[in-house]
Structure 1
Amino acid sequence: MRYTVIGGGVGCARFVKGLREHVRRTGGDDRIDVVVNTADDWWVSGLRISPDHDSLLYALAGVNDAERGWGRAGETERVAAELAAWGAAPEWFTLGDLDLGTHIARTAWLREGASVSEVFQRLAQRWDLGVRLHPATDSEIDTHVRTEDGRRMHFQEWWVRHRAGLPAVGFEQAGIAAAVPTAGALEAIAEADAILLAPSNPVVSIGPVLAVPGMRDAVRAARAPVVGVSGIIAGAVVRGMADACLAAIGVDTSAGAVARHYGPRTDGGLLDGWLVDTSDAAEVAPLERAGIAARAVPLWLRDADSSAQVAADALALAAAVDR
């Protein structure tokens, strides 16, 4: 079997680790592909930073800082201090020394002419990830945020510096109209036996992947069922500030509202199935009436056992969907 996950960031990393654990426990022969968001990438201090990808890379390699939720474990920040002293980096965006090694390698390969897809492959060769990572596109599609007070800034400034505290009225991916899905992403979607939307930020992690021209159509045309896992539990985001993003596009912070945002596949949307937490069991019946098969199961990704079970539940729902 082949499973393709769409998403990015910490929520996606935890879910994919659970899926990998489930595969290992059930025979280990299934293949996992992840189509990764690159729209929160940006240039800083002359380096190309790719937060969603690196969260996945480090978590799957077992070298991530689980306490902070980002970056490498056992970090030092001597280089960041020097960059700040030179005024060559924003003081609100600190990168660890080990992390900078990744960014330097990425940037060197990009400047040598490698595509983002090729860079993903080179970075993955260092560790046995058990998963294949594909960028949604090789184009630069950095997200910018428009705020209520008329400002426009890179997503990272809004997210990290302002902690999403400036009310946003919209998100734009620069250059996305000319972007093209990568061959690896399209192949992973077309050949999948199940497509899983990770519990990632629906607006700035999964949204930009689907906004790459041709990507949404590829998902809708895939032979595999499409099942999503809610990153909203009991009306609150599990991690991060997705509620600020949802508010900007007029979507309530609820498991049901996010499912309806993606929409039923039978009515021009994407979803065949949707997992909500047991605390949101009341959402199941309305979603079923809307044409989305729904199940209420425990969704907290606390450890290997609970994460593997969520992955198993997602695959079970995919298998139960009538395609």
Structure 2
Amino acid sequence: MKVVALTGGVGGAKLVLGLQQILPAPDLTAIVNTADDFRHLGLHVSPDIDTLLYTLSGKANREQGWGREGESWAFMEALRELGGEDWFQMGDMDLALHVLRTMRLAQGDTLSAITAEFARRWGVDVALLPMSDDPVATWLHTEEGKLEFQRYFVERRCEPDVSRIEFQGAARALPGPGVIEAIGRADVILIAPSNPYLSIDPILAVPGIRQALIDGTGPVVSVSPIIGGQAVKGPTSKLMAGLGVPVNNESIAAHYAGLIDALLVDSGDDLLASLPSMRTPTLMRTTEDRARVAEAALTLARGVAGK
């Protein structure tokens, strides 16, 4: 069974790790959001790609969900002493990815090729495909003005109210190498419980990707990021409320209307009236949780395909 997962960072990485436990690596592809990428201190940072790399290689900090386990912070301490911007944390080991990525991009290598090389070096056999090698940037229109994603998400901790989201460069971007082909041959497409507006929508905004999902023969199943009327993590609930969208699973189904065939919801939530759905505990605290949610999503996909 060929499975493709559309994913952002922390929450999506948990689902992909669960899939990695139950599927042969050659059968699994993750298409990763790159609209969070930005330049910081002259370095090209790819937060969602790095989270996938750290998680699937076993190097992730399990407690905080991002960054590397056993990280040190001498660089950040020295940066503060010199008055540098310290709102975005970059650990000493984390810097290696950013420095090498920036250097290779300057030499003409693509983000896809660089990501594949990092994955190979760390023994990650799952195909990690950036959604595009072209620059796409998420910008949020807020009460404080227009903010780049990382300024909103990290520096301002999602506090400003958001009225509109745009993905600069998306209309001109091309899907990354292998993205359309992976979707076309997939038996199942899963949309991870990443933020629909900030992590999945940028992927769908790249011309050709949404249509490839619609044209594909395999069922498309989303794992809801909502549990009991609240987002598991991040600004999803606040963002939905600010945009005037009820924070519930029906809203997630409506957001993906015409794209998904089914929605996996938490065991404590109601099944949907609008779309095929199934319940399972969707909070992924442990390795076993992640494998269970991944298996449940595939079971739902098989059921939809069987109908």
2:259 is the counterpart of 1:297: no
Output the CA distance in 2 between the equivalents of 1:133 and 1:21. Answer: 16
Q: Distance in 1 between matches of 2:294 and 2:266?
A: 13
TM-score, normalisation: structure 2: 0.96
Shift of 1:302: 2.1
Instruction: Work out the CA distance in 1 between the residues paired with 2:272 and 2:67.
Output: 40
**Cα distance in 2 for residues equivalent to 1:130 and 1:223:** 25
Deviations 1:199-233 (A, max 9, x none): 11111110100011111111111111100101111
**2:68 is equivalent to residue 72 of structure 1:** yes
> Structure 1 residues 29 and 119, CA, compared in 2 at 3 Å: closer, same or farther?
closer
Q: Is the 8 A contact 1:176 1:212 kept in 2?
A: yes
Match of 1:211 among 184, 205, 213: 205
What is the identity percentage for the equivalent residue pairs of Structure 1 and Structure 2? 40
Distance (whole Å) between structure 1 residues aligned to residue 244 and residue 191 of structure 2 = 21
Letter in 2 for 1:56: L
Give me the whole-angstrom Cα distance separating, in 1, the residues matched to 2:106 and 2:136: 17
Unaligned runs of 5+ in 1: 264-268
Corresponding residue of 1:48: 44
Quote the Cα distance in structure 1 between the aligned partners of 2:231 and 2:225.
6
Equivalent-residue separation in structure 1 for 2:247 and 2:22 (angstroms): 29
Correspondence for 1:313 among 272, 296, 302: 296
Tell me the distance in 1 between the aligned counterparts of 2:112 and 2:267. Answer: 38
Q: Is the 8 A contact 2:26 2:125 kept in 1?
A: no
Q: What residue in structure 1 maps to residue 55 of structure 2?
A: 59
Q: Please list every run of 5 or more consecutive structure 2 residues that lacks an aligned counterpart in the other structure.
A: none
Residues matched between the structures, number: 306
For residue 159 of structure 1, what is the aligned residue in structure 2? Answer: 153
Letter in 2 for 1:5: A
Matched, 1:84 2:80: yes
C-alpha separation in 1, matches of 2:239 and 2:123: 34
Distance 1:21 1:64 in 2: 16
Deviation at 1:9, TM superposition (A): 0.4
Matches within 5 A, 1:136-147: 136-147=131-142
The whole-number CA distance in structure 2 between the counterparts of 1:249 and 1:40 is 20
Say if 1:279 and 1:304 are closer, same or farther in 2 by CA, change over 3 A: same
Quote the offset at 1:29 in angstroms. 6.9
Matched, 1:278 2:267: yes
Q: What's the counterpart of residue 7 of structure 2?
A: 7
Residues 6 and 198 in structure 1, CA contact (< 8 A), matched pair in contact too: yes
1:90-112 per-position Cα deviation (integer Å, ceiling 9, x unaligned): 22112100001110011111010
CA contact (8 A) 1:251 1:258 kept: no
Letter in 2 for 1:304: T
Q: CA deviation at 1:30?
A: 5.8
**Displacement of 1:246 after TM fit?**
2.3
Determine the structure 2 residue equivalent to 1:266: none
Alignment partner, residue 215 of structure 2: 221
Measured against aligned partners, the alpha-carbon deviations of 1:251-286 in whole angstroms (never above 9, x if no partner) come to: 2222221111111xxxxx111111001111x2x241
> Matched residue of 1:321: which SS?
helix
Asked whether the 8 Å contact 1:22–1:309 carries over to 2, the reply is no
State the secondary structure of the residue aligned to 1:183.
coil
Q: Which amino acid aligns with 1:109?
A: R
